[in-house]
Amino acid sequence: MVRLSTPAPPTDRLTTAHACAVVAFVMWGLLPIYWKQLEEVPSLQLVAHRVVWSGLTLLPVIWWSRGWEAIRLAATRPRVMLRQAVAAVLVAANWLGFVWAVTHGRMIESSLGYFLTPLCSVLLGVALLGERLRPLQWVAVAVAAVGVGWIAAGSHHVPWIALFLAGTFSTYSLVKKTTALSAVPSLTLETLLLLLPALAFLAVEHAAGRGRFGHIGSRADLLLAASGLATATPLLCFATAARSIPLSTLGILQYLGPTLQFILGLALYREPFDRTRFIGFAIVWVALALFAIDGLRRRLFRPAAPDREERGAAG
C-alpha cells in the first residue's frame, strides 16, 4: 500500500517563510527604539493610538484577503466573540506594559518577561489544560523561578513588569489557541473591538487638553500615525511564517526579540544591570537552555509524526 503524503513546500517558499519569521522577531526586538521616540506621549495614549492606527492599517489588508466573511460569521457566535474580546483585552494590556517599560527605562526587565513567556505558557498548560510536564521541563521551570527570586531578593523588588508581560502574553497565546479564526481576521477583529474604547479615550484626553497628537510636533504625529504599520507588519510576517515553519523552529527564532531588547537596553540606553541582575538573567538563560534541550531531544527521538503536528498558524 502506497502512503500518500503532502508534498514538501518548495525551497523558495521555505526561504521566504524563514525570512518573514526573522523580520517579525527582529522588528519586535527593535521596536523599543521606535517607542523611545514617543516618550512625551503618555503610555495609555500611545496604546490607544496604536489601536486606532492598527485598525486603519488592517482594514485594507482584510479587504484584500477577503476576510470579512470570517469576521461576519464570528460576530454571530457569542463564544467566539467572547474569546476574541478576552484576547483583545490581553493584547492591549501587554502593549501597555511593554510601552510603559520602554519609555520608563525598564527595557532590560521587559526582555526578561519575554524570555520567561514560554515557561509561563507551559505552566498555563498544566494549570488550565491538564497537560503534563516532562521532568526536564519541571527542572527548567524551577530554575527560572530561582532566577526570578534571585533578582527579587537582590534588588529588593519583584520584577513585576517582566512577570506582567510574561503572564499577559502567555495567556493571550493560550486564548488564541482556541479561537476559530485565522491570523488576519482574528487580529483585525481584536483591533475593531478595541477601536471604539480607544477613540473614546483619545477624545476625552483631547477635550481635557491632555492630548498629545497635534501638539508635540509633526515628527511625533507622523510616528504615531505610522504606529499601526509598525504594529501590523511583524504580526502579518509572523502569520505568514507560521503557516510553513515548524513550531520548533519558531520557538528558537522567537528569542531574537528579547535578545535584541536586552542588547538595546544594555548597550544603547545604558540601563542599570548590576551583578545581581546578571546572575538572575544567567539562571533564567540556563532554564531556557534546559527547556530547549528537552524540546530538541523529544523532537529527535520521538516516532515520526505527520507534518501537520509540527506546523501551526499564528493567532
pTM, two decimal places: 0.84
Nearest-CA neighbor of 284 among 126, 124, 142, 170? 142
Return the half-sphere exposure (C-beta side, CA atoms, 13 A cut-off) of residue 85.
9
What is the model's pLDDT at position 108?
95
Asked if residue 191 lies in contact with residue 51, where contact means CB atoms within 8 angstroms, the answer is yes
What is the model's pLDDT at position 315?
39
Q: Where does residue 87 fall: left (phi above 0), alpha (psi -120 to 50 degrees), or beta otherwise?
A: alpha
Question: Which residue has 498544566 as its cell numbers?
Answer: 126
Angle, alpha carbons 298-248-278 (nearest 5°):
95
Asked if residue 222 lies in contact with residue 215, where contact means CB atoms within 8 angstroms, the answer is no
Write out pLDDT tens, residues 85-120: 999 999 999 999 999 999 999 999 999 999 998 889
User: What does the block give as the cell for 234?
Assistant: 511583524
Q: How far is CA 73 from the centre of its chain?
A: 26
Q: Give mean pLDDT in consecutive 10-residue pieces for the chain, a chain of 315 residues.
A: 44 71 91 94 94 92 86 90 93 94 94 91 83 87 93 88 93 81 85 95 93 87 93 83 69 86 94 93 93 80 50 36
Whole-number Å distance between alpha carbons of 315 and 313: 6
Annotate 51-60 with b (16+ C-beta within 10 A) or e (fewer).
bbbbbebbee
